[in-house]
């Protein structure tokens, strides 16, 4: 383990802790200073940004072009500010190095699976990686109501087992003397996960909502017997039903967090559970529609544009992420100087499109399926759209498949969609992706065919 990295994490957490006490106006002023410094640094050190932002040096952030993952990866070598870095070398290192081992002793590498399109590669130097890791402790401190920078608690994480994933890189970077940890892969056999958690008896449990849902059912069945003081969830949509079951199992509501590989944790709940506080001292987030026009608080956006304020090695300015979020109109009663995310509905790719009865197409939001499927008790579910229609995978259900089918048919019909064939399959467990996640919605249609699903 890297002792210097641990010291840098502690220093980064202290800086976060200090800024938590700032009023909103001071946070916003700090954000603007960091944004200006980032833009100047990128323009001076990145050939890509000199061209991408040419003539826009004095333009406000909202007038700069949007950076997509595809454009970033196509121009990777010119975008990074260390002119010695090359994507080919980075990818060779990421393919064979154990989690947490930095490239050339100074660059930590994280990758995304590319399930929503182009895979992404992201590089952090020592101070940037320390800042990304420290961001996770901010939400943990809020959940505990404990001001300790790194409280000595037994921590269990059931997350991705993929070596290239953010969570695996974190696992290989955080020393156990700083935070005693048990790391488990979400796609490990459930009995093995239960046995390990029973032995470890964690004070803090962090996992995907889909895993927490299953573990809550194991607790209710008497096979899992742990008493975590805090349960935190991340990386998937935390549905109201999953939240209810987690609270029923352990007597306290979960603390949801929102993050991304590009920036680590960027929002989390406080003990009021009135939304997720957006870390504006670490990121500038714009909620926009499909044409990149701003969406006001109270309205659901189609995607977010993220500007990561603490990274310089690989500057990300107005970087597009397809998450659909809604900002709250009102501040949290806790009076922290950070605005609230009121709702997260997943990614724009989770919106399924069907032929309309009168021509064109109909878009169906993930929440429509969530309301229907979660009316029937289960331990997990997934809706899959492909050329044959819709398949609903559901685990731990005792009856009710007819109710789900009828509910989906009625919901699609009422919205003017041509109703496809719908199949309900009861499965032992919901299959997980390469990153260990179990998305609620999957579209297996070719990208060119999305929006023209057949009525099989």
Segments of the chain with pLDDT less than 70: 1, 114-117, 146-152, 175-178, 447-456
**Strands 230-233 and 155-159, how do they pair?**
unpaired
CATH classification at residue 437: 3.30.300
- Considering 325, 348, 371, which residue would you say is the last residue of a domain? 348
Structure tokens at 213: 């849902």
Residues 94 and 119 occupy one common structural domain: yes
Residue of 454, 404, 455 whose CA lies nearest to 426 = 404
Structure tokens at 48: 């890509």
Write down the pLDDT at residue 117.
63
Instruction: Find tokens 């179990």 and name the residue.
Output: 438
Residues 231 and 331 occupy one common structural domain: yes
How far is residue 341's CA from residue 301's CA, in Å, rounded to a whole number?
A: 11
Residues 98 and 83 occupy one common structural domain: yes
Write down the pLDDT at residue 454.
34
Residues 443 and 360 occupy one common structural domain: yes
In a domain, 456, yes or no: no
Residues 181 and 319 occupy one common structural domain: yes
In a domain, 40, yes or no: yes
In a domain, 79, yes or no: yes
Residues 334 and 371 occupy one common structural domain: no
- Considering 348, 383, 403, which residue would you say is the last residue of a domain? 348
Residues 310 and 359 occupy one common structural domain: no
Write down the pLDDT at residue 453.
42
Element (H, E) at 309: none
In a domain, 230, yes or no: yes
Q: List, in order, residues 6 or more apart from 381 with CB less than 8 Å away.
A: 373, 374, 392, 393, 394, 395, 430, 440
Write down the pLDDT at residue 450.
47
Write down the pLDDT at residue 452.
41
Residues 418 and 327 occupy one common structural domain: no
Residues 303 and 197 occupy one common structural domain: yes
In a domain, 455, yes or no: no
**Residue 233: phi, psi to the nearest 5?**
-125, 155
Element (H, E) at 100: none
pLDDT one-digit tens code per residue, 316-330: 999 999 899 999 999
Residues 270 and 379 occupy one common structural domain: no
Residues 142 and 209 occupy one common structural domain: yes
CATH classification at residue 253: 3.40.50.12780
**Total domains in the fold of the chain:** 2
In a domain, 364, yes or no: yes
Domain encompassing residue 88: 3-348
Q: List, in order, residues 6 or more apart from 140 with CB less than 8 Å away.
A: 151, 204, 230, 232
Residues 204 and 154 occupy one common structural domain: yes
- Considering 316, 348, 380, which residue would you say is the last residue of a domain? 348
Asked if residues 163 and 210 have their Cβ atoms less than 8 Å apart, the reply is no
């Amino acid at each position: 383990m890297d002792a210097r990295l641990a010291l840098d994490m502690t220093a980064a957490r202290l800086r976060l802790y200090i800024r938590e006490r700032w009023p909103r106006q001071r946070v916003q002023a700090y954000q603007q200073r960091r944004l200006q410094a980032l833009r100047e640094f990128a323009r001076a050190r990145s050939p890509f940004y000199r061209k991408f932002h040419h003539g826009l040096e004095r333009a406000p952030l909202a007038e700069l072009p949007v950076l997509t993952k595809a454009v970033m990866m196509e121009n990777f070598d010119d975008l990074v500010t260390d002119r010695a870095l090359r994507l080919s070398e980075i990818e060779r290192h990421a393919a064979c190095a154990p989690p947490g081992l930095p490239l050339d002793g100074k660059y930590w590498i994280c990758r995304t699976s590319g399930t929503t399109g182009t895979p992404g590669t992201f590089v952090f130097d020592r101070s940037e990686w320390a800042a990304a890791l420290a961001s996770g402790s901010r939400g943990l401190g809020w959940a505990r109501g404990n001001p300790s920078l790194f409280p000595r608690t037994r921590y269990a994480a059931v997350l991705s087992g993929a070596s290239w994933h953010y969570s695996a890189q974190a696992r290989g970077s955080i020393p156990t003397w700083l935070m005693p940890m048990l790391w488990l892969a979400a796609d490990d056999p459930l009995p093995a996960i239960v046995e390990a958690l029973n032995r470890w008896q964690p004070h803090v449990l962090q996992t995907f909502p889909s895993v927490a849902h299953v573990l809550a059912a194991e607790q209710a069945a008497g096979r899992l017997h742990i008493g975590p003081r805090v349960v935190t969830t991340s990386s998937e949509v935390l549905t109201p039903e999953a939240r209810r079951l987690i609270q029923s199992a352990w007597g306290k509501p979960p603390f949801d967090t929102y993050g991304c590989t590009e920036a680590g944790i960027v929002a989390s709940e406080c003990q009021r559970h009135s939304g997720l506080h957006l870390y504006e001292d670490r990121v500038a987030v714009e909620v926009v529609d499909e044409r990149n026009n701003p969406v006001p608080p109270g309205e659901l956006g189609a995607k977010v544009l993220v500007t990561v304020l603490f990274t310089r090695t690989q500057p990300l300015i107005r970087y597009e992420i397809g998450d659909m979020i809604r900002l709250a109109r009102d501040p949290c009663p806790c009076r922290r100087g950070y605005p609230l995310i009121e709702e997260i509905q997943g990614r724009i790719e989770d919106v399924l499109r069907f032929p309309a009865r009168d021509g064109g197409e109909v878009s169906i939001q993930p929440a429509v399926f969530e309301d229907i499927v979660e009316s029937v008790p289960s331990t997990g579910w997934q809706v899959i759209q492909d050329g044959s229609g819709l398949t609903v995978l559901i685990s731990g259900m005792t009856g009710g498949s007819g109710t789900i089918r009828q509910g989906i048919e009625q919901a699609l019909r009422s919205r003017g969609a041509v109703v496809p064939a719908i199949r309900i399959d009861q499965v032992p467990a919901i299959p997980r992706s390469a990153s260990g996640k179990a998305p609620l919605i999957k579209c297996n249609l070719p990208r060119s065919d999305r929006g023209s699903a057949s009525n099989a």
